[in-house]
Amino acid sequence: MPSNILAIDFGTSNSAAAIVESGQVRHIPVEAGGQTLPTAVFFPQGGGTMRIGEAALDALIAGDEGRFMRALKSILGTSLLHESRLIAGRRRTLSDVITAFLRELRLRSEAATGRSFPRALSGRPVRFHSADDEADARAEEDLRACYLAAGFDEVTFLAEPEAAAIACGGLGGDSGIGLIVDIGGGTSDFSAFRATPEGPEILANHGIRLGGTDFDHALSMAFAMPELGLGGELRREMGEGRLPVPRAPYIDLSTWAKIPFLYTPETRRSVERMVRLAVEPKRMERLSAVLTLELGHELAFAVEAGKISANGDAGAGRIAMDVVEPGLGVPLSSADLDAVLDDARAQLGEAAGRTLAAAGAAPGDIARIVLVGGSSLMGFVESEMRALCPDATSIRANAFTAVVDGLALAAQRAA
């Protein structure tokens, strides 16, 4: 009997839906031509149909008037989720936006399959918030409320690395202990497991609030934001001496989820004042242009593209900032990448080590490391895991679909 449970991987950067048919996982084409769709929305200025996924990205690239948003998952569990804001001529909360995205995902899934899905099995990170139990519990309840408001009668959750273990548990043989390393856009999750005839036996889970968008943030602050005035100085309006340029607007401009909320008259006036007082006004004028023309997301995509290119075989990339000023850009080498992300690498290694300790396993007990999640494609991730477990075989699973595959299999078993 077909399951009426829809498996959904609602990710920080990408999302997917799947079911099991004839014993095989079927990825539902919620995005034409792809197994996943970007977790992005676009609200046209003055009203009109909300666009999601590639259509939202296309609207941004085309320069359509409206509000683009990405990385909304990172807002769950925070007060920002329920703040009402004027978005494309109408007051909405970010909870409303996530609900609208999930509703569209449900409707597309039902249209593609000809079936109704009153129930959802959703992935969730081991920890939405690393060290705040209250915020972590609140984040799951926030997401549950969004699913129910999106038209589902029931939603249950499964830790994302556990889902990946279900999908990938047999990879590399059945001997020894496996370690799932799931590095997503906003969180990093780890599961130590042992394969059994009944499926993977989860020995321990651990997770931290660190992912690809944090990598982007660090690179943007180190390389892109100085070209917009970060690190510069301001002359005092009265008296002698100088003051450092405030970091706050650059922090928000480097944070995917906060970019849309910088485009306010108050922020623009504050930056215009800094332009007048700047020791290097040219750089500050670039920041003013980014806010006036609402180029924050284009700049964030440029940083992300530079990260990916520096991570490639050539080992050299560039953050192309032509959208701000023709010819403007910053070289980005693999060495630069490693230096800026060294702290992130250390955090991932520590988190993986804590997972092994919780499982009662030594590094030498790990037979295979299974890398999933888009950000696991970063070279330093695999390098750090190999350093931790030098005897393990490293396996790259279906980076973008392993979680939804496991969710679909788990949903079928629960039917």
pLDDT, tens only, 137-161: 999 999 999 999 999 999 999 999 9
Length of the chain: 415
Name which of 196-200, 211-215, 252-256, 286-290 the model is least confident about: 196-200
Give residue 170's pLDDT band: very low, low, confident or very high (50, 70, 90).
low
Neighbours of 176 (CB within 10 A): 17
Average pLDDT, the chain: 93
Q: Are 17 and 122 in contact (CB under 8 A)?
A: no
pLDDT, tens only, 269-288: 999 999 999 999 999 999 99
Q: Are 32 and 225 in contact (CB under 8 A)?
A: no
pLDDT at 171 over 70: no
Q: Are 231 and 243 in contact (CB under 8 A)?
A: no
DSSP-assigned states of every residue in 375-414: GGGSHHHHHHHHHHSTTSEEEE--TTTHHHHHHHHHHHHH
Measured distance between the N- and C-terminal CA atoms of the chain, rounded to whole angstroms: 8
Given the structure tokens 């450092």, which residue do they identify?
Answer: 244
Give residue 195's pLDDT band: very low, low, confident or very high (50, 70, 90).
confident
Domains of the chain in sequence order: 5-160+404-414 (3.30.420.40), 175-396 (3.30.420.40)
- The 8 Å CB, 24+ separation contacts for 278-281 are 278/229, 278/232, 278/233, 278/234, 278/235, 278/245, 279/232, 279/233, 279/234, 279/235, 279/242, 280/229, 280/232, 280/233
pLDDT, tens only, 101-134: 999 999 999 999 999 999 999 999 999 999 899 9
pLDDT at 335 over 60: yes
CA distance 256 to 41: 13
pLDDT at 199 over 70: yes
Task: Supply 112's token pair.
Answer: 């593609």
Give residue 1's pLDDT band: very low, low, confident or very high (50, 70, 90).
low
Burial of 408 (0-12, 13-18, 19+ CB in 10 A): buried
Angle, in degrees to the nearest 10, between helices 94-113 and 133-149: 50
pLDDT at 71 over 60: yes
CA distance 147 to 76: 13
Q: What is the pTM of this model?
A: 0.93
pLDDT at 413 over 90: no
- Strand order, beta sheet including 51-52: 51-52, 40-44, 66-70
Check residue 209 and report its DSSP letter: S
Q: Are 37 and 31 in contact (CB under 8 A)?
A: yes
